[in-house]
Amino acid sequence: RSWPVVFDTAVGSRLTDVDGNSYLDFFAGAGALNYGHNPPALKKPLIEYLTRDGITHGLDMHTRAKEEFLETFRDLVLEPRGLDYKVQFPGPTGANSVESALKLARKITGREAIINFTNAFHGMTLGALSVTGNSMKRDGAGVPLVHATPMPYDNYFDGTVSDFMWLEKLLQDSGSGLNASAAVIVETVQGEGGINPARVEWLQGLAELCRRNDILLIVDDVQMGVGRTGPFFSFEIAGIEPDIVCLSKSIGGYGLPMALTLMKPEHDQWGPGEHNGTFRGNNPAFVTATAALREFWSDDTLERSTIAKGERVEGVFTELAAASRVLTPKGRGLARGLSFSQPELAAKTCAAAFERGLLMETSGPSDEVMKVMPALTITDDELTEGLEIVKESVRAVMEGVSAE
């Protein structure tokens, strides 16, 4: 609705519509296109795979493409980080990974209750919605959303209440009414909830609280994983090891649907076929996922450039905020947001940017945050160009307000 054109082709960070107009992409498929559109290093192996009649649909059959992905994921992602996880292929969406994580946590612990956080977003299916905050999205369920208890996310009370005061108290008080919980599910940076980063100490405190209370920790890294905040997994900076990790969006690398649920080996208590799905073996996505790991995760070049680019965005946002006092910059890595104290101005700014050829969307409970999530592979020149448009758009909208 906010981009009333018909898009046709895209390369890297640029899309073209059917009339030949070009747009710079600060949206990146909501985090599904961390390597940009049609990256050559992924396209070539994909075309070769299709040309040689590689298996396309494989359910849970053993295939060469799956084997290569699993080996590459082990060698380039898990082992270098000292992480020991078993890999499950749930259905190919983020919501499906979340559903499998919640089911598994309940199966392992024999408990129903899940602890989630204010302003969390975990997907649109019923289990995922039950741990999602947004009231409009929850209302879509049409049935009661149960077995989840929301707790304050980091900084929910603007630093006035100490971390976990409420959660810790409820866990300790046998009269609190909180059911014994199977798991806590958390995003390290809330993407849809308004680009809210949890502090490292908060994440460490949460992991410790889970450990002490024998509650499983699920990190939903569907949007912030695969390098969005810098490191491959967004939780690496906290040095924590979640029991279960959800990945989707950019793991396939090419915008092809794919999802993973990672679990500590001792938690693999699934019976055969207990969480199955027709499109788990999306082999073309395995091919592009493998190529992406080889191209971008053999060393730390991408991680470092993402952090540097993120700092450039932060610098521009800080500058804009200093000039206005109604804007607040937030985020981590290349997941950045600018929060407007008048929520409708965020969408107005995105509309102003669209007129200038830049794609951005909003997030947050009142859509009050202008969300900047370019491809991690965006060039420095493109980033400069986009940030200039952001500055112009913010200023145009703010001037319009003060003129009213």
Ligand X SMILES: *Cc1c(COP(=O)(O)O)cnc(C)c1O
The residues binding ligand X (CB under 6 A) are 93-95, 98, 121-123, 187, 191-192, 220, 222-223, 248-249
> What's the token pair of residue 402?
């003060």
Up-side HSE of residue 279: CA atoms within 13 Å toward CB? Answer: 11
Q: How far is the CB of 94 from ligand X (least distance, A)?
A: 2
**Of 148 and 394, which CB lies nearer to ligand X in the complex structure?**
148
Query: Rounded to the nearest whole angstrom, what is the least distance from the CB of residue 220 to ligand X in the complex?
Result: 5
137 or 356: whose CB is closer to ligand X?
Answer: 137
Q: How far is CA 200 from CA 101, 163, 211, 238, in A?
A: 23, 12, 17, 5
Minimum CB separation from ligand X for residue 222, in Å? 4
- Min dist CB 124 to ligand X, Å, is 6
Angle among Cα 364, 153, 124 to the nearest 5 degrees reads 50
- Cα 87 off chain centre by: 18
Q: Whole-angstrom Cα distance, residue 270 to residue 375?
A: 36
Rounded CA gap, 31 and 333, in Å?
A: 13
Residue 19: CB minimum distance to ligand X, A: 29
Instruction: Calculate the alpha carbon distances from 333 to 58, 64, 112, 344 in Å.
Output: 35, 34, 35, 25
Which residue in 5, 45, 22 sits closest to 287, CA to CA?
A: 45
* Nearer Cβ to ligand X (45/90): 90
C-beta closer to ligand X: residue 163 or 187: 187
Q: How far is the CB of 54 from ligand X (least distance, A)?
A: 24
CB-CB contact of 149 with 184 (8 Å) = no
Q: What whole-number distance in Å separates Cα of residue 299 and Cα of residue 367?
A: 37
Strand 196-197 relative to strand 189-190: parallel, antiparallel, unpaired? Answer: antiparallel
Q: In the bound complex, what is the minimum distance in angstroms from residue 11's beta carbon to ligand X?
A: 24
Look up residue 401 and give its two tokens: 């307000």
Looking at the Cβ atoms of 220 and 382, the one nearer to ligand X is 220
Which residue number, 45 or 193, has a Cβ lying nearer to ligand X? 193
Check: CB of residue 195 under 8 Å from CB of residue 330: yes
Compare residues 100 and 393 and give the one whose CB is closer to ligand X. 100
For ligand X, which is the closer residue by CB, 191 or 253? 191
- Amino acid occupying residue 231: P
Minimum Å gap between C-beta 242 and ligand X is 14
Task: Kindly report the length of the chain.
Answer: 404
Residue nearest ligand X, Cβ-based: 94
Which distant-in-sequence residues (6+ apart) come within 8 Å of 54 by Cβ? 64, 65, 283, 284, 287
